[in-house]
Structure 1
């Protein structure tokens, strides 16, 4: 049974993301504040932002960047991110966004896999950036350091070269705008091919969030992650709201921004929601301006939602759901639907359909006329679904069915009103503080250690982090490897959020006859 959205379909403009966001900018909107740099308070109007984006496009064009190129952007949330990101995309460049916490090895893998011809970064991230560039065979001249560093061009150098922005022509339905990396339902990170139409569609589909032009939004969720890219950066700019950028999450600074700028709409992941619900600092700050909080990127418990509501009376607490492969949002609790439980992931967005499939039998589960359906895996279809994984037809075929429905790996139910609930997970992916941690990546790293004969990694529940990566390790004969040795070894090679937090030594990793790790058995151990 195909489940349809309760919303009417919306029109999706046939345009590039640049034209969609900026071509219709009127004179009155040009004077509105688009972005405020949280740490400094420096403000950029919409008119200034478009001028800076255009100049950046002219500068990058003068350096030879253009249609069909892939360029990596390795930068925390700053106003410069928005300028560089949209300047490159205007030229028809495909931007692959790199996690600001990525290690040099991880940067190198993404640069090599994506075919990036250049890397744009900032000086605080330069060590990982240069290690990654070296590993991918890029020269120092291919690395632009926005705020300047010896041996590299700066953003000022790029802008000094700026000439007219060349005319570019491409089909928004097929031309790749961005190439973020995701582990999907399992496995190692893969390049997710998202077109201009995918990004435009998901912004238009999210109108039920109730965002409006007078909203002030602290942007602490990273723009390099598709949640921050679409729901904060692009949706806020399309709405002509005001973003206040923060390069990292520091609770005291975050609360200060909310109070100083009278923030109205908070987009968070569950760890931030937990802090808002429980941390004593919250009581010392005036949060009365906040009218809505939306949590996404990881499961959001109904009890936690209730605790946030109790702490911030009068504030709507919403939940959304999605995946990088869906640009990313597929479901959300609409701002005006107070009848939907905050424990629900919400309703299907406009223009989307879904199926719920019994993972054991493959049979489709019907939406009930009353009550709640039986559980099954959620599959989604719509204009925001990726075109596939870069250079990986096998993984694409495993994820997207011939009829266009994408496997999410999550087990859900749906009620008679169209509200969906996540009840379990098929996929092996670990969610640590909203970040994706693929077990296969950590397992490959562990097995490469000469004193480890075999290994498996699972997520174990944690109140603060959501899940903690736990490694089950089989020592090689004669090894006296300790848990600290294992954790240190991994920590030196991965981004901080991918660290192994717990280690248990076992005699053998349980596996099926086909050699698949039996993670369920490990969870019961």
Structure 2
């Protein structure tokens, strides 16, 4: 077996790669119509954290799921899952979101390691997630907010005033705006809004029974909105594109199955384009479908570590590639 030259693999990791080379494993991976069925009753986080599929690849035991390119902070699977559940609990307790009918949560931010946490926490409560470009003006936000009707916001701190203005015009009170933890959010912000870390701490200290995790019906994933993306606006004002949990999951599986190969001769894991031990740089914005679906969810589903970068700059990106030994750049 040839081990990737840029990474030091543990003995356990090497055994994982070797294990996929056996005939028994190959037979187990041979696809059938049943293998290719797409779950229609799972939310995105339930699919990512808890489901199994022949094309799924697990991370190495010592490999983080996410790395913050700025601080170097690493986050493993269990911490991500715990943070998502804790944030969902806090939202349920403080904002009673679990009682709303078809709630919508809006995320207005550049990439951040807690961006996926806010997405998954919202889905755990049955909320659709509306992601939008933080570079928009208050007037552009207002049009989108009135269309999507979000009742809770996660916002990067430096555009707080802009989002507040647009949210107020849409009838959303300022106390339903939560900011991401960044250096600027640790200083005095006007009216001291809640931060994601504050809510995560609240959720970790809350009674576990305070979260009633949202469950989809048998075929509900096909109609329940997971993500609302704004269109490019080429022909006028951007439209809202609704992506169901089923469609989102189907796209992840589509890429994973193609990566795995199908039939009687699946591609050995060591020869796959995306595999455990690889490191992907997520500089594509998560408020676009390619950034959120492929650069984040598919990479994680392939056992890869994702280095999260807030924005692209040539010098900064080159430095990040060298520092974290990036193998995949979308």
TM over 0.5: yes
Q: What's the CA shift for 1:47?
A: 1.7
Give 1:12's match in structure 2, choosing from 16, 38, 52.
38
Q: Is the 8 A contact 1:30 1:47 kept in 2?
A: no
1:44 to 45, 70, 75: 75
- Partner of 2:65, secondary structure, is strand
Q: Give the deviation of 1:40 after TM superposition.
A: 1.1
| Closer/same/farther in 2, CA of residues 252 and 8 from structure 1, 3 Å limit | farther
The SS at the match of 1:217 is: strand
- The alpha carbon displacement at 1:31 in A equals 4.2
Shift of 1:187: 3.2
Equivalent residue, structure 1, for 2:103: 69
From the two aligned structures, give the one with the greater helix fraction: 2
How far, CA to CA, are the matches of 1:29 and 1:137 in structure 2?
47
CA gap of 1:150–1:157, structure 2 versus 1, over 3 A, is farther
Q: How does 1:368-447 map to 2 (within 5 A)?
A: none
| Alignment RMSD | 2.3
Residues of 1 paired with 2:195 and 2:294: CA distance? 29
Distance 2:59 2:153 in 1: 36
Q: What's 1:362 paired with? A: none
Counterpart secondary structure, 2:213: coil
Residues 194-229 of structure 1 show CA distances to partners (whole Å, capped at 9, x for unaligned) of 110010000011123532122101110000111101
1:180 and 1:226 in contact (8 A); partners too? yes
Which residue in 1 is equivalent to 2:90? 59
**Quick one: distance in 2 between partners of 1:262 and 1:131?**
42
Report the Cα offset of residue 27 of structure 1.
9.6
Tell me which residue corresponds to 2:196.
Answer: 155
Larger radius of gyration: 1
Q: Which residue of 2 aligns with 1:176?
A: 225
CA shift for structure 1 position 140: 1.2
1:245 to 308, 317, 325: 308
Residues 281-327 of structure 1 deviation map (CA, whole Å, 9 limit, x = unaligned): xxxxxxxxxxxxxxxxxxxxxxxxxxxxxxxxxxxxxxxxxxxxxxx
Equivalent residues in 2 for 1:211-290, closer than 5 Å: 211-267=274-330
- Structure 2 counterparts to residues 114-153 of structure 1, below 5 A: 114-147=148-181, 148=185, 149-151=189-191, 152-153=193-194
Shift of residue 43 of structure 1?
0.8
Q: Which runs of 5+ in 1 are unaligned?
A: 1-6, 268-525
Where do 5+ consecutive residues of structure 2 fail to align?
A: 1-30, 260-272
Structure 2 CA distance for aligned equivalents of residues 24 and 110 of structure 1: 34
Could you give the per-residue CA deviations for residues 449-504 of structure 1, whole angstroms, max 9, x where no partner exists?
xxxxxxxxxxxxxxxxxxxxxxxxxxxxxxxxxxxxxxxxxxxxxxxxxxxxxxxx
1:32–1:46 Cα contact (<8 Å) kept: no
- The structure that is strand-richer by fraction is 1
CA spacing shift, 1:263–1:37, aligned 2, 3 Å? same
Say how many residue pairs are matched: 261
Please give the per-residue CA displacement for 1:21-54, whole angstroms capped at 9, x wherever unaligned. Answer: 0014899756421111001111111121111111
Instruction: Check the 8 A contact 2:58/2:301 in 1, yes or no.
Output: no
Aligned partners of 1:184 and 1:206: how far apart in 2?
Answer: 27
